[in-house]
Every structure is written in structure tokens, then in C-alpha cells.
Amino acid sequence: MRRVSTDMPNTDLQYYLRRQEESLANIQSKIAGQNKLHELRDDPLAVSHAVRYESYLARLNRFEQNNLYARDHFNHIDGYLQQANSVLQRIREISVQGATGTYAKEDLRNMAVEINELLKELVSVSNALGPDGKYLFAGDKAFTEPFRIVEGSAAGGNSNFDQIPMILRVEYLGAGSSRRTEIGDGAYSVLDIGGGEAFWAEKMQIFSGMDASAYRAEAAGAFFVDGAEVTVNPGDTLPAIVAKINDSSAPVKAYIDPESRGLVLEGTDAHLIKLEDRRSADASRLPESHVLQDLGILGANTESGAPNWNTSARVSGGSAFDMVIRLRDSLLRGDYDFVGSQGILGIDLAITNLQSRLTEIGSREERVEMTWNRINEEIPNVSRALSREAGLNLSDAATDLSMVEFAHRAALQTAAKVIPPTLLDFLR
């Protein structure tokens, strides 16, 4: 038998009124947030799908921003490479005029002065800054000016030209193009093109002057060839090291010189070969390594900057700046034959490499553009799927809200009649 007290109707009424108020607040929260999944228990399966869609949509939005940044970055690089190509074309025009043999030596010297000014412009273009304040052709050393000018008096000048400062050499202080951005799930695009790639002319060759036929690594070590790490195990000989270099991803071919029996490195395309022994800062638990130094390729000084070759090593393969300097000096000497042969050939090599780099940048830009278009087609599809799982139908929500509000008002009116009068009602 159930015992009914006078306080039970009031308690039950308050309990059910709180439940109605909770339902009312729940519907109002869904309408305010435009989301029908207010709590996990509303629809556990839909919540799990919605979480995955939201995560994927956030990644797509991030990929879209990365693609836009990469596209703008490639546009800036392309513009400056086009300017560099125009400068080299103008230098080639001057060299063709100087090779005809119809100009006096004084005229050739005047051409040399103009080429020196064009060389300064070429260096200025190679040290270009992007809109984000980073150097475009410095590789991952984005805040280091990639090219440094060394000026002085050029050989072959006379007293009239000795007072004009000439560029003696241009040193590259940047690094390789290791910066990249994620443009899709597991898909990356290399952002930069290093100055040692874009502004080079000849394939580099590095001949060690040391006989390494008896070389054998005493301890484990490593070195880097164009950013690719090559590990060395205890007991490795020169042939083993050559095989490891050729198996790496670096665009460098290694072999043994049959005469000197030393290591030879040759670039597979025109670029500055970047070599570095592993230092203790490169890996906290691994010791320093001096493999390239022991093989007679690098010098003892490991400070960053221009390449520090061993004094006995022979290095060939110059940059576009070297080609221009060589042409300018031949004009200062009045050497028609050299201008018409080696001078023009060097400029042609620099132009050919620059145009191939322009093609490479254009290919990257095209890929980024296609990826951006695909992502922009995918984002609405994912948004629709998310809306289907978590989106709120406002017409249904408004109907539910009206029904709950009507039921709540009816309950309040009924409670006013059912709850017995209290002492306060008699004191009024």
C-alpha cells in the first residue's frame, strides 16, 4: 500500500517541471548553436561521424592555406628568376657584340663596366626578399643573405678602370632547399629553390688529392651530401663509402679516381654541391665525424659559410656569377676569341640552368594549383556530410520548442490549481 503525504504532489510537480525546463533549455541550446548533437547521448553514432568530419575539415582548411602560401611563394620566385634571366640575356647580347672583333679594346672595357653593373643587379636579384621577410634563394637559412660580394680591382684593367670597384667573386652562404609544406594528406611540396641551384652554370666536380686506397673508418660516423645523410660504419673502406653516396638521394655521383686513388664527387646537374661532416650539434648522442675531412675533400675549418675545400682538392664547376666574371675579365683584356667561345658558352650554360629551374618552379606551382582546386571541391562535400550528421533542422526545432513551451505553461497552470494553499496565502 502506497502512503500519500500532503507534500508528495508538490515534490512530484517540481521534479517533472525541472525535467521540462531541462528539455526546454536543451532545445534552446541546440537552436543557438545550430547543432542537434548537444550531448553524446543524443546520437552516439552521429557524434562519432561528426568528430571525424570536423577533424578532416580542419585539415582540409589547413591544406588550403598551405597551398595558397606555396602558390604565392612560387609566384614571387618565378618573378625574380624571370628578372635574372633578363639580366643574363642582356649580358649575352653584350658578349655577342664584343666577340665580333669590330670594337676597339677601349669599347670592350666599357662593355666590361656595363657587365659589372649587370652582375651587381644579378646579385641583387639573387638576394631578393619575399613578402614574409625571408630570403627567397637562401634555402632553409631563410634569414641569411645567400650571396656575398667580394670587390676589388679586376685583372686586365688599365689606369682608367682601376678606380672602378669590380666584383672579384660571389660567395654562396645559403643552404639547400629543405623547407617544404604539406599540401595534402602525406603530400608535400618543396617550397624553396636554393641559390646554389638556381644561379649555377656548370656541373661541379670535386677531386680529392689524397690517396685513400688504404682508408678504413675507425668509428661510426656520418656526413651530408646536399642534405642527404650518409652513414659510415666502422671498417668501411672507400669503395663502400662511394657505394653509399651513389645509393643516397643526393644528386651526386661518386667514384674513385684511377690516378690519384682518391674520392671524386660529380653533380648530376648544375648546382653547388653542399658537403658537411656531422658535428656534435647535429645529433646529441652521436660523436663528431670527420670522414670527408679524412678523405681530403673538406678542410679542417667547420664554420658555416662559403665551402671550405681541402687545399689539396681540385674543384671545378662555377656559378652563373663566375661565368659573368670570367666574361667581364676577358672583355677587360680585349680577348675577342675567349669572349666568342668560352665567354658566351658560360653564359649559355647559366641561362640553360636558370630556364630549367624556371620550368621546375612552374611545375611545382601547377601541382599546387591543381591540389588547391581539388581541396576546394572536397571542402563543400565534407561540410555537407558534417551538416547532415550534426546540422539542426530549424523548422523541426521550432516546432519542438513550441510544443515543449506549451506543455510547460500547461503544467504551471495545473500546478497553480493543484498545490494546496499555504500559510502565506491566508496572510495576504
Q: What is the pLDDT of residues 285-334, one digit of tens each?
A: 567 788 999 999 998 765 544 568 888 899 999 999 999 999 999 999 88
Tell me the pLDDT band of 114, cut-offs 50, 70 and 90.
very high
Q: Where are the domains of the chain?
A: 8-34+392-422, 52-199+318-378, 205-313
Range in 235-239, 286-290, 342-346, 356-360 the model is least confident about: 286-290
pLDDT at 401 over 50: yes
Three-state DSSP state, 269: coil
Top mean-pLDDT range of 219-223, 241-245, 424-428: 241-245
| 318 DSSP assignment | -
Give the pLDDT band of residue 282 (cuts 50, 70, 90): very low
Above 70 in pLDDT, residue 169? yes
Question: Which pLDDT value is given to residue 400?
Answer: 67
Please check whether residue 324 is in contact with residue 91, taking contact to mean a CB–CB distance below 8 angstroms: yes
Confidence of residue 125 (pLDDT cuts 50, 70, 90): very high
Share of the chain above pLDDT 90, in %: 45
Report the mean per-residue pLDDT for the chain. Answer: 83
Please give the Cα distance from 83 to 300 (Å, whole number).
38
| Among 136, 156, 158, residue whose Cα is nearest residue 146 | 136
Question: Which grid coordinates are listed for 232?
Answer: 659510415
4-23 pLDDT per residue, tens = 565 676 677 677 777 776 66
Place of cell 656531422: 278
For residue 176, which amino acid is it?
G
Query: Is the Cβ–Cβ distance between 202 and 316 less than 8 Å?
Result: yes
Q: Are 320 and 200 in contact (CB under 8 A)?
A: yes
How many whole angstroms separate alpha carbon 242 and alpha carbon 266?
Answer: 12
The span from the CA of 20 to the CA of 15, in Å, is 9
Grid cell listed for 352: 640553360
For residues 235 and 244, what is the distance between their CA atoms, to the nearest angstrom? 14
- Separation CA 286–CA 284 (nearest Å): 6
Lowest mean pLDDT among 69-83, 84-98, 307-321: 307-321
Q: Which three cell numbers stand for residue 223?
A: 656526413
Is 127 in contact with 146 (CB distance < 8 Å)?
yes
Residue 359 burial class via C-beta count within 10 angstroms: exposed 0-12, middle 13-18, buried 19 and up: exposed
More confident residue, 54 or 235: 235
Smallest CA-to-CA distance from 197 within 115, 77, 302 is with 77
d(CA 405, CA 272): 77
Name the pTM for this structure.
0.77
pLDDT at position 30 over 60: yes
Instruction: Give the residue-averaged pLDDT of 407-425.
Output: 66
Cell of 339: 669572349
Name residue 230's beta-bridge partners. Answer: 223
Query: Which parts of 318-393 fold into alpha helices (H)?
Result: 320-333, 336-338, 344-390
Does residue 46 have a pLDDT over 80?
Answer: no
Q: Which CATH number does the domain 52-199+318-378 belong to among 3.30.70.20, 1.20.1050.10, 3.10.129.10, 1.20.1330.10? A: 1.20.1330.10
Strands (E), 97-215: 147-152, 166-172, 180-184, 187-190, 205-207
Q: What is the pLDDT of residues 252-267, one digit of tens each?
A: 999 999 988 999 999 9
Place of cell 599540401: 183
CA distance linking residue 144 with residue 135, whole number of Å: 7
Q: Given this model, what pLDDT does residue 227 score?
A: 83
Q: For residue 97, which phi and psi values (nearest 5 degrees)?
A: -65, -40
- How far is the C-alpha of 287 from the C-alpha of 284, rounded, in Å? 8
3-class SS at 174? coil
Q: Is the pLDDT of residue 188 over 80?
A: yes
Note the residue count of the chain.
428
Q: Which residue has the cell 525535467?
A: 19
* pLDDT interval class at 359 (50, 70, 90): very high
Tens-place pLDDT, residues 265-275: 999 999 999 88
Predicted local distance difference test score (pLDDT) of residue 127: 94
